[in-house]
Structure 1
Amino acid sequence: MTTFVDRVELHVAAGNGGHGCASVHREKFKPLGGPDGGNGGEGGSIILTVDSQVTTLLEYHHSPKRKATNGKPGAGGHRTGADGEDLVLLVPDGTVVLDRKGNVLADLVGHGTSFVAAQGGRGGLGNSALASARRKAPGFALLGEPGEARDIVMELKSVADVALVGYPSAGKSSLISVLSAAKPKIADYPFTTLIPNLGVVTAGDTVYTIADVPGLIPGASQGRGLGLEFLRHVERCSVLVHVLDCATLEPGRDPLSDLETIEAELAEYGGLEDRPRLVALNKVDVPDGQDIADLTRASLEERGFRVFEVSAASRKGLRELSFAVAGIVAEARAAKPAEESTRIVLRPKAVDDAGFTITEEDGAYHIRGVKPERWVRQTDFSNDEAVGYLADRLARLGVEQELWKIGAHEGDTVIIGPEENAVVFDWEPTMAAGAEMLGRRGEDHRFESPRPAVDRRREKQKGRDAAEAEFLAFEALSSSRPAAIEGDDEDD
């Protein structure tokens, strides 16, 4: 049964944002009290957090799909929907997060370090939040934004100061067992070590960690043996210690050839050229072991290596090796810049950044940008007012003006968003109708009823005053010409 996993592929899906609510407040004697639709809740995010108690990615090997909860929709009475709960995934110290293409997204080192692997969707605005002086009662609300979904790869790279490298059965596990309190599996056959073992060593005032990496063989950097699976565990180490077997019985092998083979594999893997190297000639306590060490020591020193003759069984040379390693580790730590507890990165917006791009491809105009794509996802295309609101937002952003500039005409195909989830429509420009027409979509004239009612009363009163004035004028005219009128009647 698998007990150690240092690389997994994980599918994470954040929660969707809740939809906004389109509602109008109603009560007795106040049938149209105004919009009161609440906003939708935020979707939960997927967060990776380093926990020093976690040492393997085994949990995600068995459960590779993780999803956060969705936000709840808004409701009438200005009630905002509940937010979805964030899903926190605990990972070991030294976990590297990559996308499917191998690009590094985050390097998680240090207890408590966090990374948002998938961002939860925004909640949609209710119609009360969309109301304005010109749009008093929107008959629509914005949809919740879908949560981010992605496939990520997590690789564990041991956070150790020192790495013991060498052929299988060179005695690396035995050394780490006597240098520290680690208890790795030790046996007299190759590839006994199947997982990296970590131990803590104290040498004077310096305390450092040491890793026993599974044995390397020729071709390890291309996948032979276990080397390719575990070479990543030496990337963070400050010191590499070559453990060379002085008592091997395999034909064609000796400490010098073993060193050349391991160095070739490390060079093929790459990224380790600048690490200090020490050489530990191991098993000098066995017959002929000391003789082989004496024969090879001078050649190793000529190549610039510091050489230590050690034995895990008799403890010979271990103290000298431990203190030599501690000195290099202390120098490496002193050379590192002091890490700030909080680092703020300012990324000002470029002065010529319009927030979107328009490209002409295959006779269609493709609009890409964070805002346009988000607005499209939040639009309910079954509601004409919502579509008009989207058109207004795009116009204010400058999309229509840019389309005019690049030569678009009415009826041309316009595509917003990525190809897998794009919205396609025929462009109907609104700029020709005048800027005063923009922003009038979504108005509800029912809420203008108090003012028209007053106007009608005034008109009726004016009508009555005019009729009365006309009657009084007629009366005055009649009283000033009585004889003429009577005479006329008589003539008839």
Structure 2
Amino acid sequence: MPRFIDRVVLHVSAGKGGNGCASVHREKFKPLGGPDGGNGGRGGDVILEVDEGVHTLLDFHFHPRAKAANGTQGMGSNRDGANGEDLVLRVPDGTVVLDSGGRMLADLVGVGARFRAAAGGRGGLGNAALASRARKAPGFALLGEEGEERDLVLELKSVADVGLVGFPSAGKSSLVSVLSAAKPKIADYPFTTLVPNLGVVSSGETTFTVADVPGLIPGASEGRGLGLDFLRHLERCAVLAHVVDCATLEPGRDPVSDVDALEAELAAYKSALDADAGLGELSDRPRVVILNKADVPDAAELAEMVTPEFAARGWPVFTISAVTRAGLRPLTFALAELVERYRAEHPKAPPRRPVIRPIAVDDTGFSVIADPQIPGGFIVRGSRPERWVRQTQFDNDEAVGYLADRLARLGVEEELMKQGAEAGATVTIGDVTFDWEPQTPAGVDVVPTGRGTDARLDQVQRVSAAQRKHASRVRRGLESSAESDADVDGR
């Protein structure tokens, strides 16, 4: 039996970018064919798209993890790797996407609306793309980036023009069944309806949708009954209709107190929709009062008594019977008129155009701050340096030298000096921590050596080894001097 699921937690993982290829063209009589390594393919994105054939988030409830395909690695002969295929997840109309902290990321309304939930990683460049005047035959390639991983919360909010609210067993489902072709479950006990029922109603030239929201009782906005789970389904409604049971035999209940109790819950519920949607709070929506079960004699008399009180509030009042279908025609036309008026006053916002914000002239794209955990250490933050570090093969000296040149050209070396970094200071970029060596020439043209090597790093290693050897000699000299002084004192 199908289940209605309107809130799920979805773990999405985009595809990883393929690694670049380090290859040299080899052909008879062409010993110096040059680099011909291709680029890695881009990782696939995870995309959410509204589909008119999907009405629940049930699939994500049973399959809460989604991963897009990875890009493939580049190959020799300048062959680029294939891009990973995007993973398109079909969601129902009215799906709201939230991050793990509850911040709204997207409000998907309308068939075809899309949202990129996770971006695929970039593919690494092959050595053919890295060739330059200084590096005519690079012996390295860049690694592909990992795809984005996110935990998202998907919430479904029904896209209905008229929302029916009322106490359990007030006749909301029965009214939906007689106004439209919907066939909800109907019984004579409270909380029969456990999910919102949606129906399409035609009145003259106007077609609108109507939905009943179950489980609303006093305290619903604080979690009592089923109200907290389903109050959000009213957020998109243009008109709210109170369905009142005029034939109830429960002590302490009457039509006026029922409406007042639910109005207090609607006022207490805070809409989570973005202010740009222009819908406002639930308390601002047009109201209609529907006095149901007029086929019962006592209920008809009670409806006649309370009609003036509701009319004094400026709300249209209709006395109907969902069983005999009495009073449905004027109700239908009145709802259609209110919906048309609301649509005219709240036209659909045009699709948002992308906003291009140019980078400021003085924006370096990175920042250097002191490391709070390591005395004398520094942390470099910025999308470009962090991405460059992730793409570097640290077991390849030439790739490390290329990274040093990129950081130097960006201005990281100069900024570290301004911040007071000293030789041997611990510097962290992304997930990589290293000792800073300011004496290493970076950002300059170097004489290439063997493939996969960098003379500057060999020099630094030799200098570091000499410094360690010198320090050892000094330490041994101090120890022997201390022993001599002890012998003198002993004599």
TM-score (norm 1): 0.86
Q: Which among 296, 304, 326 is matched to residue 286 of structure 1?
A: 296
Residue type matched to 2:79 in 1?
Answer: R
Structure 1 pair 337–439 and aligned structure 2 pair: CA distance change class (3 A)? farther
Distance in structure 2 (CA, Å) of the matches to 1:326 and 1:442: 80
Matching residue of 1:352: 362
- Measured in 2, the distance between the counterparts of 1:206 and 1:351 equals 55
2:430 equivalent to 1:425: no
CA distance in 1, matches of 2:110, 2:162: 18
Q: Match for 2:321 among 304, 308, 311?
A: 311
SS of 1:251 mapped into structure 2: coil
2:257 aligned counterpart, secondary structure: helix
Partner of 1:296: 306
Matches within 5 A, 1:10-49: 10-49=10-49
Task: Report matched runs for 1:79-478 at 5 Å.
Answer: 79-270=79-270, 271-337=281-347, 339-340=349-350, 343-362=353-372, 363=375, 364-417=377-430, 422-429=431-438, 433=441, 438-440=443-445, 443-444=448-449
Distance 1:88 1:63, change over 3 A: same
Rounded Cα–Cα distance in structure 2 between residues aligned with 1:214 and 1:160: 14
Superposed CA offset, 1:252-285 (max 9, x none): 1111111111111111212312111111111111
* Mapped partners of 2:63, 2:24: distance in 1: 45
Structure 1 residue 227 displacement after superposition: 1.0
Counterpart Cα distance in 1 of 2:348 and 2:190: 42
Contact 1:164 1:212 (8 Å CA) reproduced: yes
Q: How far apart, CA to CA, are the structure 1 residues paired with 2:300 and 2:347? A: 42
**Could you tell me how far apart the structure 1 residues matched to 2:114 and 2:284 are?**
29
Deviation track 1:91-137 (CA, whole Å, cap 9, x = no partner) reads: 00000011110011111111011111011111100000000111101
- C-alpha distance in 1, partners of 2:266/2:336? 23
CA deviation map 1:114-166 (0-9, x unaligned): 11101111110000000011110111100000000111010000111110011
In 2, Cα distance between equivalents of 1:183 and 1:338: 30
Helix, strand or coil at the partner of 2:284: coil
Unaligned 5+ runs, structure 1: 447-492
The whole-number CA distance in structure 2 between the counterparts of 1:388 and 1:13 is 32
Q: How far did residue 327 of structure 1 move?
A: 1.4
Report how far residue 441 of structure 1 moved: 5.3
Q: CA deviation at 1:359?
A: 1.6
3-state SS in 1 of match to 2:78: coil
8 Å contact from structure 1 (residues 385, 442) kept in 2: no
AA aligned opposite 2:398: E
- How far did residue 439 of structure 1 move? 4.1
Deviations 1:22-69 (A, max 9, x none): 111112222221111111111111111100110000001001011111
Q: Distance in 1 between matches of 2:426 and 2:342?
A: 60
Over the aligned positions, Cα root-mean-square deviation in angstroms equals 1.7
What one-letter code is carried by the residue in structure 1 that aligns with 2:12? V
Q: Which moved more, 1:403-412 or 1:51-60?
A: 403-412
Give the aligned length. Answer: 438
- CA distance in structure 2 between the partners assigned to 1:445 and 1:375 by the alignment: 23
Equivalent in the alignment of 1:489: none
Contact 2:93 2:159 (8 Å CA) reproduced: yes
Change (3 A) 1:241 1:351: farther
Contact 1:47–1:87, Cα closer than 8 Å, also in 2: yes
SS at match of 1:273: helix
Structure-2-length-normalised TM-score:
0.86
Distance 2:258 2:358 in 1: 54
The answer to whether the Cα contact below 8 Å between 2:173 and 2:193 also exists between their aligned partners in 1 is yes
Task: Give the AA of the match of 1:7.
Answer: R
Matched AA of 1:424:
T
CA contact (8 A) 1:389 1:441 kept: no
8 Å contact from structure 1 (residues 388, 441) kept in 2: no
Q: Distance in 2 between matches of 1:170 and 1:248?
A: 8
Name the amino acid aligned to 2:414. Answer: Q
SS at match of 1:211: strand
Q: Distance in 2 between matches of 1:112 and 1:252?
A: 49
- How far is 1:348 from its partner? 2.4
C-alpha deviation, 1:409, in angstroms: 2.1
- Which whole-Å CA distance do the structure 1 matches of 2:348 and 2:361 have between them? 34
CA contact (8 A) 1:136 1:444 kept: no
Change (3 A) 1:45 1:237: same
* Paired residue type of 2:413: E
Change (3 A) 1:228 1:441: farther
Give the 3 Å change call, closer, same or farther, for CA 442–378 of structure 1 in structure 2: farther
| Cα pair distance change 1:337/1:297, threshold 3 Å | closer
- Give the Å deviation of 1:220: 1.4
* 1:389–1:442 CA contact under 8 A, matched in 2: no
Alpha-carbon distance in structure 1 between the residues aligned to 2:242 and 2:224: 19
Q: Which has the larger radius of gyration?
A: 1
* Residues 406 and 443, structure 2, Cα contact 8 Å, conserved in 1: no
Q: Aligned letter for 2:178?
A: V
Instruction: Report if the CA contact (8 A) 1:11-1:151 is conserved.
Output: yes
Shift in Å, 1:344: 3.2
Q: What's the % identity of the aligned pairs?
A: 66
What per-residue deviation string (whole Å, max 9, x for no partner) do you get for residues 315-371 of structure 1?
222222222211121122112345436723222223432211222132322211111
Does the aligned pair in 2 maintain the 1:182–1:199 contact within 8 Å? Answer: yes
Task: State the alpha-carbon separation in 2 of the partners of residues 442 and 245 from structure 1.
Answer: 89
Structure-2 separation of matches of 1:336 and 1:21: 55
Structure 2 CA distance for aligned equivalents of residues 441 and 172 of structure 1: 79
